[in-house]
Structure 1
Amino acid sequence: MIAIRQKPTRGAVLACVLALTASGCGLSTELDRELNPERTPTPTETRAAPPPVSATSPPVQQASGCPSSGLRFATGPVNGAMGLRAMTLSMTNCGDQPYEVNGYPSVSVLDEAGDPIPGVRTIEGTEGVPMASEDTGPEPFTLAPGETAEAGLVWRMAAEEGTYLNVAPDKDRDAVNVRPEWPLDIGPENILGTHPWAPAPKSAS
């Protein structure tokens, strides 16, 4: 009898991305394993605060309050295993009107000066990112005021790091710059895969 491989559901894919993001296998652990395979003890370091924004830095999303678009973006921590990186991008409707969502986020990676990193290509889906979970495609939904949507970002580790993400709900809407607190080790000629937007899991009451 030939076994039939079932295609994972969209919810299962999002759960997989979120599980990787929330797992104990964090970016720092993965980097330690890749850079120090013999587990030589190293001094414990306190994570430094993000550097101050200089006069030459690109404009970023306002630090607090609700932007005029009625949407506020945020990023989760970067986590990884065997060179695969995953990050959750969230979009909260902080306005007073429902917001229709259908598709993939529009994302590009910028350097410290706010310029796109040459050769980094963003794709809809994850087919170009080895070991990434399968993308099952977008489904439309309505984001009510106060609700949050999430999308997964995945890439393979590279030597160079991006500084900002230029993000928008989709390619037809205005984008803003967001500076993640965690490093984006994606360099030239790399691919950034995206999972489609989906409603964020409801927190247990």
Structure 2
Amino acid sequence: MGATRWTVRVVGVAAAMAALAGCDTPPAPRPAPGPTGAARPAATPPRPPAAAPTAPAAPSPLPSAAADEPCPAGGVRVRQAGGDSAMGVRIMSVELVNCSAEPYALEGHPQIRLLDRKRAPLEAEVRHGSADIAGGVPSMDRPAEPVTLQPGQRASFAMLWRNLVTDPSVPASEGWAVEVVPKPGAPVVTAELRDSVDLGSTGRLGVSAWRASSS
């Protein structure tokens, strides 16, 4: 009887220790589930729509001082339009713009006078056409024709001269502005010149008749 009870106790203790040991061992990990279908790539987030190209901004128009100025009392304004030179002969175009609301009639040659830097009048003999200044210039010698300018239209005349010093005792003269009487009885209008009318000591200036501008 005594041996049997001891055996039972030993078996019971061993079972208890085995149970305790089982509690200390973590359970085996669960097997990963098998594939259920073809692997799908991770979804790529949609890209934002590309911005539409921006058209370049239109260039701002250049400011025009003349357009902002009031129209002179005579209804026209004048300005230097262009020029050319070759072999000492100079030619410059002066343009007239009808800035009034009425038609403006021109005919013949304008009356002009050159002014120096200090706006003092220059002594110069003004002749019609090329007039012994250059050997025949067709654009200067065309006969005069009537010109009628509608509001906003333009006409022009040309000045011709030689840059020569024929007399060293006479100071060379330069015109930096030109006073224009477009037609008899009209008010004087003045054009400031970007380039000088460098007469030297010749004292002679040719002027053409009025011509309507083509543009």
Report the TM-score, using the length of structure 2 for normalisation. 0.60
Question: 1:10-29 residue pairs with structure 2 within 5 A?
Answer: none
Q: Which whole-Å deviations, capped at 9, do the CAs of 1:83-109 have from their partners, x for residues lacking one? A: 110111111101000011111111111
Question: Is the 1:121–1:189 Cα contact (8 Å) retained in structure 2?
Answer: no
Q: Give distance in 2, aligned partners of 1:115 and 1:190.
A: 15
- Say yes or no: does 1:180 pair with 2:193: yes
Q: Give distance in 2, aligned partners of 1:63 and 1:110.
A: 25
- Say yes or no: does 1:201 pair with 2:207: no
Question: Is the 1:84–1:131 Cα contact (8 Å) retained in structure 2?
Answer: no
Q: Which of the residues 91, 101, 110 maps onto 2:106?
A: 101
The residue identity in structure 2 corresponding to 1:173 is A
Structure with greater strand share of residues: 2
Q: Which whole-Å deviations, capped at 9, do the CAs of 1:127-183 have from their partners, x for residues lacking one? A: 231235131210112111110001111111144311221112035322122210112
Q: Which whole-Å deviations, capped at 9, do the CAs of 1:101-125 have from their partners, x for residues lacking one? A: 111111111122222212x111122
Q: Which of the residues 133, 138, 157 maps onto 2:137?
A: 133
Which runs of 5 or more residues in structure 1 are unaligned?
1-60
How far off is 1:188 after superposition?
4.4
Please, which moves more after superposition, 98-107 or 156-165?
A: 156-165
Q: Which of the residues 76, 80, 83 maps onto 1:75?
A: 80
Q: Which of the residues 153, 173, 176 maps onto 1:163?
A: 176
The residue identity in structure 2 corresponding to 1:124 is H
Which runs of 5 or more residues in structure 2 are unaligned?
1-65, 165-171
Distance 1:132-1:110 versus aligned 2 partners, 3 A rule: farther
The residue identity in structure 2 corresponding to 1:143 is L
Q: CA RMSD in A?
A: 2.2
Task: Specify the structure having the higher radius of gyration (Cα).
Answer: 2
Identity %: 28
Question: Is the 2:154–2:213 Cα contact (8 Å) retained in structure 1?
Answer: yes
- Give the count of matched residue pairs: 141
Report the TM-score, using the length of structure 1 for normalisation. 0.62
Q: Give distance in 1, aligned partners of 2:201 and 2:174.
A: 9
